[in-house]
Homo-oligomer: A and B are copies of this chain.
Amino acid sequence: MINLGIIGAGYWGPNLVRNFNAHRDCTVLAVADAKPDRREFIQGQYPAVNVIADGFELIGNTRIDAVVIATPVGLHYDLAKCALQAGKHVLLEKPMTASAAQARELIDLAEQKNLRLMVDHTFIYNGAVRKVRQLIDKGEIGDVLYFDSVRVNLGLFQHDVNVIWDLAPHDVSIMDHLMADKAIAVSAIGRKHFSETLEDMAYLTVLFDSTAIAHFHVNWIAPVKVRTTLIGGTRKMVVYDDMESSEKIKVYDKGVELLTDEEARRKILVEYRVGDMTAPKIDSTEALRLMSREFLDAIAEGRAPLTDCHAGYRVVQILEAANRSLADNGKMIPLA
């Protein structure tokens, strides 16, 4: 039995409590949140849970084996560091930390203490993303030439981070999971239409140690919700539309094939194979159920989880470079 403490019971926290509670080898012992109304809400739903105000006090509870941190990102580093020092395994909400340096320090501390340090890149556990990963692993997609993501929203503003830090972690973590190439540089251009300090729309480009390219459009001020990703491979192409209820993944049996052309006036001839489209069956298990299972299994088996601290680091590294590029009008920023 793993005893769990969860810090932060805002929008996402209750989903974490519900999912961890559903696993029989785990007990949510305590939940911490600074806001009285959130504590009241959790206590009402889970009378047996110890609900307190202070996250550090929760970490001090010696019966707790592992801590889940779902606070605003600005608090991640201090809480995670404290928890690791106290010998607890840690699961952090995305993005992992507010800087790559913080992420690096936590990684080193977790390794030194031999503790699990995981990041909740939820989408990686989603049936659609798992299906695309399977297709890539089986070689059906071929080499990924581009990853093009649009995530536009009519949602509420986040006030502590800009639109890239709010929305892009989803897509950057998916890209990191699906693409084998190493990201080497980042460019981002954005606009602050409704704030002095925070971009409400932005375009993010990532270059790799190959000819591949990734591009992300994130936007808080759009008229419609769009969550569409195009993945262009040499053998097949994928359209992933997360707003589609029944056909989230469409696999196009259309690659690009180079033919030598005898005619003098054409240098190259490219012929498209135009074949069938398949919308494969997608497992509809809640992603958070699999994510929470993975954290518990990684603890029990003493192994790195699927979305480990290194994936968390890579995502933060890209977000951090994006902020520097935003401040310099889209200048290309190399990744260390």
Tell me the bound Cα distance from A266 to B159 in angstroms. Answer: 7
Bound complex: CA A276 to CA B246 (Å): 11
Copies of this chain assembled into the complex: 4
Nearest to A230 among chain B residues (CB) is B222
B274-A277 in contact (CB<8A): no
Contact indicator per residue, chain A 134-154, by CB within 8 Å of chain B (1) or not (0):
000000000001101010101
Q: Which residues of B contact A152 (CB under 8 A)?
A: 230
For the complex, is A121 an interface residue (Cβ under 8 Å from B)? Answer: no
Whether B145 and A193, one on each chain, are in contact in the complex, defined by CB atoms closer than 8 angstroms, is yes
* Minimum CB–CB distance for A54 against chain B, Å: 18
Tell me which residues across on chain B come within 8 A of A277, comparing CB atoms. 246-247, 278-279
Interface bracket on A: 35 or more
Q: Does A119 contact B (CB under 8 A)?
A: no
Chain B residue contacts of A274, Cβ below 8 A? 154, 281
* Interface contact B230-A252, CB-CB below 8 Å: no
CB-contacts of A251-301 with B (<8 A):
252, 254, 256, 258, 266-270, 272, 274-281
Taken together as a complex, chains A and B put the C-alpha atoms of A154 and B157 apart, in Å, by 37
**A329 touching B332, Cβ below 8 Å:** yes
The contact string, 1 if C-beta is below 8 Å from chain B, for chain A 190-233, is: 01111101000101010100011101010101111100001010
Contacts of A195 in B (CB 8 A): 267-268
A239 in the interface (beta carbon within 8 A): yes
A270 touches which of B194, B230, B246, B256 (Cβ 8 Å): B194
Q: Residues on A close to B: CB < 8 A?
A: 145-146, 148, 150, 152, 154, 156-157, 159, 187, 189, 191-195, 197, 201, 203, 205, 207, 211-213, 215, 217, 219, 221-225, 230, 232, 236-239, 243, 245-247, 250, 252, 254, 256, 258, 266-270, 272, 274-281, 329-332
List 19 A-B residue pairs with CB atoms under 8 Å apart, sorted by A's residue number.
Answer: A145-B193, A146-B219, A148-B217, A159-B267, A159-B268, A187-B189, A189-B213, A191-B212, A193-B211, A195-B268, A203-B205, A223-B250, A224-B239, A224-B246, A224-B250, A276-B280, A278-B278, A279-B279, A330-B332
